[in-house]
Structure 1
Amino acid sequence: MSDAAPRLKSLVEQLLGAPLSVRVRAWDGSQAGPPGAPTLVVRNRRAVRRLLWKPGELGLARAWVAGDLDIEGDLYAALGMLAGFVWERGEDARSLAQALRDPEVRAAVRGLLVLAGSPLPPAPPREEVRRPRRRLHTKHSDKRAISHHYDVGNDFYELVLGPSMVYSCAYWPAPESDGGTLETAQRDKLELVSRKLALKPGLRLLDVGCGWGSMAIHAAREHGASVVGITLSHEQAAYARKRVADEGLTDRVEIRVQDYRDVTDGPYDAISSIGMAEHVGSQRYLEYAENLLQLLKPGGRLLNHQIARRPQRDESTYDIDEFIDAYVFPDGELAPIGTTVTQLERAGFEVRDVESIREHYALTLRRWVANLEADWPRAVQLTSPGRARVWRLYMAASALAFERNRIGVNQVLAVKTPESGRSGLPLRSRTWN
């Protein structure tokens, strides 16, 4: 009798106390759920074991990365239907011990154990990062974390990011529309940063977390700046150096493999930090801000472009995102924008402007997902089936998180204001000259 799908759907709904809006197809060919809805494909019993041994987001992620779970139909719609069980229920969910006091929950778990088969927990997919968490954000641990994420292969990043090779939020002409190309929107973002920093010939720019060199090249080529770009990724640095040479900019752009804590050749006129500060960590953030302040001339500007999470009533209970930490950005931490502004000002910066561009990141991520899906066989060839699945899930889920205001992204313009109090910024904001 082929009845795994209706049994599985019924037991999960009993466990969660809410209906599943997706359709379910199980390993025995059975199906259950609304016709025409996106389909959650449960390929084997191991997927159920993963969810039982690690309930919640990480169990789902392990099953997805291993290929035990899949989605047919609209990926975004399916993730939107499943998101409530991860997001809305995760913040105030009862502990497992409390939940198991409910007879219905116990009955559902027993039913799922029967469906799952062998009680042994499956090994995590090999793409999962497994390391001690005793000392975070040392120079060694940060370099290892950056290597995990960025040394996937430059060819893979070219496939996902496109010719711009910019791995941060683009700046679209109209967030509510789907017009414009990714390359144009990324160029506009680099130009926005350049104008906020008032770059011009002869100024020294430090680009912290320079990636594949796009900001450094733009600043030198379009504004005549002298640029030092730093990264912890050897693959990124090699790629960026070649791009710089191809552009004929070796006299104005230097790319280093260097930790921001080891930069000693200031002062700089301006610093850009685009999508890097998420790796710093809350315990190191003040040190990060103080280091950058010391590297700036009086009157120098910092443009800090950073993803932010929503604040909680009790910040001491904040937990990291298990999937992101295990598969995407090991040791990465997000902070509320208010915390970031406070830390920058504690370090001695004067924060002059905060621009939220949350919707722009959702548009950017959807373009990256489209690039990945359009050349899926090659993406798998360049990495692995599991790693490609990590990226597809991470980027699609992140797009929804930005769209639903679960997370945001902000550009913070801060100044090392001299004792005279003259910041050097225009009286009318957002003219950036």
Structure 2
Amino acid sequence: MADAAHRIFELAEHALSRPFPLRVRAWDGSEAGPSGTPVLVFRRRRALRRLLWRPGELGLARGWVAGDLAVDGDLYEALDRLSGLLWERDEPDPAAAGGMVRTARRVAERLGDPASYRLVREALTLAGAGLPPAPPPEEVRRRTGIAHTKRRDKAAIAHHYDVGNDFYALLLGPSMVYSCAVWPDEDTTLEAAQYAKLDLVCRKLSLREGQRLLDVGCGWGSMVLHAAEHYGVRATGITLSVEQAAFARKRVAEAGLTGRVDIRVQDYRDVPDGPYDAISSIGMAEHVGSERYLEYARTLYGLLRPGGRLLNHQIGRRPMRDEEAYRIDEFIDRYVFPDGELAPVGVTVARLEEAGFEVRDVEALREHYARTLRAWVANLEAHWNAAARATSVGKARVWQLYMAASALSFERNRIGVNQVLAVRTDTGGASGMPRTRSGWLS
């Protein structure tokens, strides 16, 4: 088994038909590949078995989550160097927040040629005999039924958000905001940047004292608390996460806002008490699904009074030449956001207008999200042991990988995030909005 790294490196280059961009270190201490790069560490032979059984992103992800694979060096640089293998170069990426695409078919075809027989036989010997290793327990097991029913949506939300409020407190910091911050300058802290984002949403909605605000997907309550405290609104926040709701209610009580802020565990399709003066939906619409998006838009339209505004803050992917070829990213779907789907911003705007809204403004915040994600990764790594105790080592590794990969996806313009401001005009077509952006941001 001596020099396992050399054989792994040779197999990788042959299978991929291109130079492998990282140095490799194997479980026997051997190393191979270019110097001066991050090192992809095969801690156990099981890591190679995972990749042989599932070449591509899922095998890599399972190895990472299980701790069979690691990176010695800068994780961002390692993922960036691997981007040519994990991300398509000639077409905008169809994947979700992590940005990875399937490579298994391409690798399998390459390994099937006669010249590869020796390498494959050696790799199987090196990896050890046996059935495929079981997926790490953090992977979502088989799902049944139709996607985006109320029951399945609730289960998907629980998988991602009900992993422990203590974990998220370490990850997000005091703001407890789990969406893109707005960074006014280089010296802004994460907490100040999240405050700036919440305030930007309130100003775009033109919130005024006594108005009713509905926050769809309210998370840990930061938006409704900000709007009630600084703008005097009566706010309702809805979430499908039981843990989020409990945390948010505690914050509301501690702030003395129980009479003005209501937190509910409720599906957006079940809100009975419109009309509202304004609706915010921040980082929630990614969970709706393309088949349900028009229903989502129509539901929110029906919950607004004439002249009421919607602020829809949503991650979007780049368009594809063949939209029907879009597939949800395997790693993201199995480990991070089950059933999550991204759409190009143009599709989002079209669906909102089809539902009856007039779209008045679209603001791209792509670079802001990249910086936000890097701040979250820094928080996670700075509190690694506590974060792992609060949930599990595997969960912490999932979040580390998906947030680091997502930061690169935003930086490379594979995905973006946009705030879409829309209004329900009255029967005569009047929006009640100032003519200029400076007017409605005042």
TM range (shorter): over 0.9
Per-residue deviation at 1:93?
8.3
- Separation in structure 2 between the aligned mates of residue 330 and residue 53 of structure 1, nearest angstrom: 23
What pairs up with 1:303-342 in 2 under 5 angstroms?
303-342=311-350
SS at match of 2:71: strand
The answer to whether residue 94 in structure 2 is matched with residue 111 in structure 1 is no
Deviation string 1:336-375 (CA, Å, 9 cap, x unpaired) is 1111111111111111111000000000000000000001
Q: What pairs up with 1:159-238 in 2 under 5 angstroms?
A: 159-174=170-185, 177=186, 179-238=187-246
Residue number in structure 2 paired with 1:31: 31
CA distance in 2, matches of 1:152, 1:83: 29
Q: Which amino acid aligns with 1:205?
A: L
What's the secondary structure of 1:243's corresponding residue? helix
* Mapped contact 2:373–2:404 kept (Cα < 8 A): yes
Question: Residue 371 of structure 2 aligns to a residue in which SS?
Answer: helix
Contact 2:15 2:107 in 1 (8 A): no
Query: 294, 307, 315: which one pairs with 1:286?
Result: 294
Task: Give the unaligned 5+ runs of structure 1.
Answer: none
In the other structure, the counterpart of 1:398 is: 406
Alignment of 1:333-412 (within 5 A): 333-412=341-420
Match of 2:138 among 114, 118, 127: 127
CA contact (8 A) 1:225 1:252 kept: yes
Aligned-pair Cα RMSD in Å: 1.5
* Mapped pair 1:252 → 2:260: yes
CA contact (8 A) 2:85 2:103 kept: no
Residues in 2 aligned to 1:134 and 1:147: alpha-carbon distance in whole angstroms = 17
Residue 312 of structure 1 aligns to a residue in which SS? coil
Supply the distance in 1 between the matched residues of 2:47 and 2:102 (Cα, whole angstroms): 24
Residue 169 of structure 2 is aligned to residue 158 of structure 1: yes
Give the equivalent residue in structure 2 for 1:5: 5
CA distance in 1, matches of 2:59, 2:402: 15
Native 8 Å contact 2:40 2:69 kept in 1: yes
Cα pair 2:287 2:339 within 8 Å, conserved: yes
CA distance in 2, matches of 1:265, 1:256: 12
CA distance in 2, matches of 1:25, 1:100: 22
CA distance in 2: counterparts of 1:406 and 1:352, whole angstroms: 25
2:22·2:78 contact (CA, 8 Å) conserved in 1?
A: yes
TM-score normalised by structure 1 residue count: 0.96
Matches of 1:26 and 1:65 in 2, distance apart?
Answer: 18
C-alpha separation in 2, matches of 1:318 and 1:291: 26
Identity of matched residues, %: 69
Deviation by residue 1:232-273 (Cα, 9 ceiling, x = unmatched): 111111110111111111111000010000001000000000
Distance 1:352 1:128, change over 3 A: same
Aligned length: 430
Question: What is the Cα deviation at residue 419 of structure 1?
Answer: 2.0
Take 2:124 and 2:392, find their aligned partners in 1: how far apart are those partners? 31
Q: Which amino acid aligns with 1:404?
A: R
Q: CA deviation at 1:186?
A: 0.1
Q: Which stretch has the larger CA shift, 59-68 or 412-421? A: 412-421
Alpha-carbon distance in 2 for matches of 1:148, 1:119? 30
Inter-partner Cα distance in structure 1 for 2:424 and 2:13? 55
1:139 shift after superposition = 0.5
User: Which stretches in structure 2 are left out of the alignment for 5+ residues?
Assistant: 90-100
- Cα deviations by residue, 1:101-141 (Å, 9 ceiling, x for unpaired): 53345554333222211141000000000122541001100
Q: 2:140–2:338: 8 Å Cα contact kept in structure 1?
A: yes
Distance 1:98 1:46 in 2: 23
CA contact (8 A) 1:113 1:119 kept: no
Relative contact order, higher structure (CA 8 A, sep 6+): 2
The C-alpha deviation readout for 1:38-76, integer Å capped at 9, x for no partner, is 111101111111111111111100000000000011110
Deviation of the 1:100 alpha carbon: 4.6
Cα deviations by residue, 1:368-391 (Å, 9 ceiling, x for unpaired): 000000011111111111111111
Specify the SS of the correspondent of 1:210. coil
Aligned residue identity for 2:125 = V
- Residue type of the alignment partner of 2:234: S
> What's the TM-score, normalizing by structure 2?
0.94
Larger CA deviation: 409-418 vs 87-96: 87-96
Three-state SS of the structure 1 residue aligned to 2:437 is: coil
Equivalent position amino acid for 1:422 in 2? A
Provide closer, same or farther for how the CA distance between residues 22 and 430 of structure 1 changes in structure 2, counting only shifts above 3 A. farther
**Residue aligning to 2:432:** 424
Q: Which residue identity lines up with residue 166 of structure 2 in the other structure?
A: D
Equivalent of 2:147, from 122, 133, 136?
136
Tell me, yes or no, if the aligned pair for 2:218 and 2:239 is still in contact at 8 Å: yes
* Partner Cα separation in structure 1 for residue 415 and residue 434 of structure 2: 30
Residues in 2 aligned to 1:395 and 1:42: alpha-carbon distance in whole angstroms? 22
